Amino acid sequence: MKISSLQKARYEYSPKLPGMLRNGISNICVKEGEETSSVADQEKIKALFPNTYGKKEITFAQGENTSTAKKQVVGVILSGGQAPGGHNVVCGLYDALKATNPENVLYGFKNGPIGLIEDDYLIFDDAYIDQFRNTGGFDIIGSGRTKLETNEQFAIVAEVCKKHGITAIVIIGGDDSNTNAAVLAEYFAAHNTGVQVIGCPKTIDGDLKNEDIECSFGFDTATKTYSEIIGNIERDANSAKKYWHFIKVMGRSASHVALECALKTQPNICLISEEVSEKKMSLSQIADYIADSVANRAAKGMNFGVAIIPEGVVEFVPEFSVLIHEINELLAGSKADAFNALPTWKEKYAFIENGLSAKSMEVFAILPESIQQQLFLERDPHGNVQVSLIESEKLFSALVKDKLEERKKAGTYNGKFNALHHFLGYEGRCAFPSNFDADYCYSLGYNAFMLIQYGYNGYLSKISNLSKPANEWVAGGMPITKMMNIERRHGEDKPVIRKALVELEGKPFKFFEAHREEWAVETSFVYPGAIQYYGPAEVCDITTETLLLEQE
């Protein structure tokens, strides 16, 4: 297989571990902290997790290793969407396991949780692992989105573990995957299987974070990748001086990616979904907000700019959420057949007009026809609108165009507006991990084995103090139940890890808020360039603007 020059060079990179993990397994001891409780719904969560709730947070430190020496047979799965650095979690886990005892074994279950259920696996060795060090992607064993959530599934997994003598499972995933990890850990404890479960925090969306988990892995690399492209587009906009670029970025539930990219590149506009929700902004208000920037810049002779749009922003617009709900009701059951039988869009539009409330029809009427049709013609198997497919970057540029035409007629705007559209998604999920993510992920994997060695179950591998150099990082673990609350899912109360949204009172947003008026009018673009792997630490090892601001 042909490999690139960069991949060859990255094979030689030695990820940096936290200081206390650098002197060998035999010199690591545990310091226990306070007992924990869940972020909300404490009594309900405690009742659901009687064997794994309320455990203590722990920190590793230099000292005598008091863990019981035994052969460890560990299974690992990658769960959910790809994130840069996943390979290094597996490599760190493997290296710690083999450093402790060369007889230890690591099973990789293929294509996510389904590999555990179907007993589809490979056994790692040095030659195989070495092909994936410091590389992007999840192709080392593949990933998948099967959920481990039923007792039948747990019983199958327990049998698979028993068959291979597996003592622990490491689940590398996001909030849903680690929720499943917590439930599986509780099942194993309740049934005295002797199998431990350890989670590792992954998601490029950045919404698996809290006071303990400072950053999910992959976020740094993904936002640097997107920011490079956004910076390139900004430079092109400033060169051509005739286009407004509307750039949608990943982030369905939270706007961490959009905010981080804005902090890195200083675009003219960046929408933050959480602020849209907090202020109950309408589509018209958002369009006016962007149009103000376009008009003010045009008045200074600058008919160009850049706007960053979070993927899920329309779901945070209250009137749009109501519209989606009404559409789902309108097309429920047999009514969908009646709608689909109508031969023309004109007849379908009349059907819609007759079925929506006056207020929702006002919202629907201002949408571009392409978006209107998307809402009604591209539905999921249950007949619901697939909000994730809405091209919000095109929606807002069309609404802004309409606003500008109104202003032109009123004589308050005489500029030129030409919009181009981009969606940055898959480009960032499998990039070569930055030095930060390569180091962080390797540390998470190495640390996960330390949690296994000391017998912990239902814990998340935790590396903190991440805004400092790696030798100052702190390794430890926290019970996954600490992050959980009860949410309504598909008509049932379910224990889930609470998603972390952008905090409007947090330092990253406040910094953005303090500067965005200037960025909206001036050309304050920053061009971060490509991720750097070799050179001075202030270029190669820097982490996210978000983390730096949060920890300053």
Q: How many angstroms separate the Cα of 345 from the Cα of each of 349, 350, 362, 399?
A: 6, 9, 18, 21
13 labelled binding-site residue? no
Q: Is 458 annotated as a binding residue?
A: no
Is 493 catalytic? The answer is no
d(CA 130, CA 164): 24
Cβ-proximal residues to 474 (8 Å cutoff; 6+ apart), any chain: 18, 20, 59, 463, 464, 465
Say if residues 543 and 436 touch (Cβ distance below 8 Å). yes
Identity (one letter) of the amino acid at 435? N
User: Collapsing DSSP states into helix, strand and coil, what is residue 274?
Assistant: helix
Helix then strand then coil, in percent of the chain rounded to 5, is 45, 15, 35
Measure Cα distances from 549 to 35, 263, 510, 512, 518 in Å: 29, 10, 10, 11, 20
Annotated binding residue at 139?
no
439 is in an annotated binding site: no
- Residue 311 among known ligand-binding residues: yes
Token pair for residue 216? Answer: 């999910």
Q: Looking up tokens 């792997």, which residue turns up?
A: 533
Burial of 354 (0-12, 13-18, 19+ CB in 10 A): exposed
Pairing of strands 474-479, 56-62: antiparallel
Is 163 within any annotated ligand binding site?
no
Determine which one of 95, 205, 437, 439 is catalytic: 205
Reduced to 3 states, what is the DSSP secondary structure of residue 385?
strand
Instruction: Write out the two tokens for 174.
Output: 């996001």
**81 assigned to a ligand binding site:** yes
Measure the CA–CA gap between 297 and 434, rounded to whole angstroms.
Answer: 35
d(CA 361, CA 533): 52
The sign of the dihedral angle between the CA atoms of 130, 134, 139, 141 is positive
Determine if residue 428 is labeled as part of a ligand binding site: yes
CA angle 211, 214, 216 (to 5 degrees): 130
242 marked as binding residue: yes
Chain centre distance of CA 199: 15
Rounded alpha-carbon distances, angstroms, from residue 103 to 62, 100, 330, 423? 25, 9, 62, 47
Q: Does the annotation list 250 as a binding residue?
A: yes
Give the closest residue to 389 by CA, choosing from 401, 377, 402. 377
State the amino acid at position 251 in one-letter form.
Answer: G
94 Cβ contact partners less than 8 Å away, ≥ 6 residues apart: 106, 124, 129, 445
Rounded CA separation 485/41 (Å) = 6
Question: How far from chain centre, in Å, is Cα 93?
Answer: 22
Q: Is 333 annotated as a binding residue?
A: no
Residue 228 annotated as part of some ligand binding site: no
Residue with tokens 């949780």: 113
Tell me if 516 is assigned to a ligand binding site: no
Structure tokens at 421: 């559209």
CA–CA distance, 445 with 430 (Å, rounded to integer): 18
> Are the C-beta atoms of 145 and 52 separated by less than 8 Å?
no
Distance CA 112, CA 144 (A): 4
User: What single-letter amino acid sits at 177?
Assistant: S
Which residues on neighbouring strands pair with residue 35, listed in sequence order?
56
Binding residues for substrate: 203-205, 242-243, 250-252, 311, 426-429
The set of catalytic residues is 205
Binding residues for diphosphate: 81
Binding residues for Mg(2+): 175
